[in-house]
Amino acid sequence: MTNVVEVQGLSRQFGTTKALDAVDFRATEGLVHGLVGVNGAGKTTLIKHLLGLLRPTSGTVRVLGLDPVRDPVNVLRRVGYLSEQREMPEWMRIDELLRYTQAYYPSWDMRYARELLDTFGLDAKKKVGGLSQGMRAQTGLVLAVAHRPQVLILDEPSSGLDAVVRQDILDAIVRTVADEGRTVIFSSHLLDEVERMSDRVTMIHQGKIALDGMRDDVCGAHHVTQLRFAERLDRLPPLDGVLTASGGARSWSVVHAGPVERLRDAAGSVGGEISESRNATLEEIFVARVGRGAPRAEAA
**pLDDT tens digits, residue range 200-215?**
999 999 999 999 999 9
Q: Which of helix, strand or coil describes residue 186?
A: strand
Look at residue 162 in the predicted model and tell me its pLDDT: 76
pTM of the model: 0.88
Q: How far apart are CA 100 and CA 228, in angstroms?
A: 64
- Partners of residue 25 on adjacent β-strands: 7
pLDDT digits (tens, 9 = 90+) for 64-97: 999 999 999 999 999 999 887 777 888 999 999 9
Q: Which CATH number is 3-216 given? A: 3.40.50.300
Side-chain half-sphere CA neighbours of 298 within 13 A: 10
Look at residue 296 in the predicted model and tell me its pLDDT: 37
**Residue 43: closest CA among 12, 72, 66, 15:** 12
Q: Which helix (H) or strand (E) holds 93?
A: none
Look at residue 297 in the predicted model and tell me its pLDDT: 34
- Contact assessment for residue 94 and residue 124, using Cβ atoms and an 8 Å cutoff: yes
Q: How far apart are CA 138 and CA 77, in angstroms?
A: 20
Written as one letter, the residue type at 20 is: L
**Residue ranges covered by each domain of the chain:** 3-216, 221-299
Look at residue 178 in the predicted model and tell me its pLDDT: 66
Residue 99: CB atoms within 10 A of its CB come to 13
Look at residue 40 in the predicted model and tell me its pLDDT: 83
Q: How far apart are CA 143 and CA 287, in angstroms?
A: 34
Look at residue 193 in the predicted model and tell me its pLDDT: 85
- Contact assessment for residue 170 and residue 197, using Cβ atoms and an 8 Å cutoff: yes
Q: Which of helix, strand or coil describes residue 266?
A: helix
What is the residue-averaged pLDDT of the chain?
89
Dihedral in degrees, nearest 10, Cα atoms 130, 134, 137, 142: -80
- CA dihedral sign, ordered 134, 139, 140, 142: positive
Q: Which helix (H) or strand (E) holds 37?
A: none
242-257 vs 222-233, strand pairing mode: antiparallel
Q: How far apart are CA 119 and CA 135, in angstroms?
A: 12
Low-confidence ranges of the chain (pLDDT < 70): 1, 159-160, 174-176, 178, 292-300
Written as one letter, the residue type at 292 is: R
- Contact assessment for residue 82 and residue 146, using Cβ atoms and an 8 Å cutoff: no
- Contact assessment for residue 44 and residue 17, using Cβ atoms and an 8 Å cutoff: no
Q: How far apart are CA 133 and CA 217, in angstroms?
A: 36
